[in-house]
């Protein structure tokens, strides 16, 4: 009886582990891996003015992510900002330099991926 319980417990653990593994393996299908997102950012020209960790011309993407953490409207706002450009949100960091417009130079779907990546950076 004892052995039966132990085996049952191991079977449940095994099933849970397998399930967790499945979920982890399914994730990259929806979100871009960090290096793919960075490659897209490079290709799109973003890295001329941004880096993840440091202010370059524009604010560090890590700081952008931290500022909008928990803000449900941030995704829409930032997608619109990358498409149309604009200034005024980071004047204290940038001295008022504008963010250039990226639509239609960069495809809408790519802009959405880039914004999702930026927003994912805050820990």
Contacting positions for ligand HEC (CB under 6 A): 44-46, 48-50, 57-59, 64, 78, 81-82, 86-91, 94, 97-100, 102, 106, 114-115, 118
In the complex, least distance from residue 72 CB atom to ligand HEC, rounded to whole angstroms: 15
- Closest contact distance (angstroms) between CB of 62 and ligand HEC is 11
In the complex, minimum distance from the CB of residue 30 to ligand HEC, in angstroms, rounded to a whole number: 19
* In the chain, alpha helices (H): 2-26, 34-44, 61-68, 74-84, 91-94, 108-119
Closest CB to ligand HEC among 16 and 42? Answer: 42
Confirm if 84 and 7 have CB atoms less than 8 A apart: no
In angstroms, the first-to-last Cα distance of the chain is: 46
Q: How far apart are CA 25 and CA 18, in angstroms?
A: 11
Residue 57: asked if its preceding bond is cis (omega within 30°), the reply is: no
Our CB check for ligand HEC shows the closer of 18 and 88 to be 88
Nearer to ligand HEC, 13 or 71 (CB): 71
């Amino acid at each position: 009886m004892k052995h039966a319980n132990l085996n049952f417990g191991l079977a449940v653990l095994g099933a849970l582990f397998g399930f967790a593994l499945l979920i982890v393996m399914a994730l990259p299908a929806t979100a871009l891996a960090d290096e793919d997102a960075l490659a897209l950012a490079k290709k799109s020209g973003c890295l001329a003015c941004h880096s993840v960790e440091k202010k370059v011309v524009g604010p560090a993407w890590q700081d952008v992510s931290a500022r909008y953490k928990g803000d449900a409207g941030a995704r829409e706002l930032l997608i619109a900002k990358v498409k149309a450009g604009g200034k005024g949100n980071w004047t204290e960091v940038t001295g008022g330099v504008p963010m250039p417009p990226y639509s239609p130079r960069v495809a809408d779907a790519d802009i959405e991926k880039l914004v999702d990546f930026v927003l994912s950076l805050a820990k």
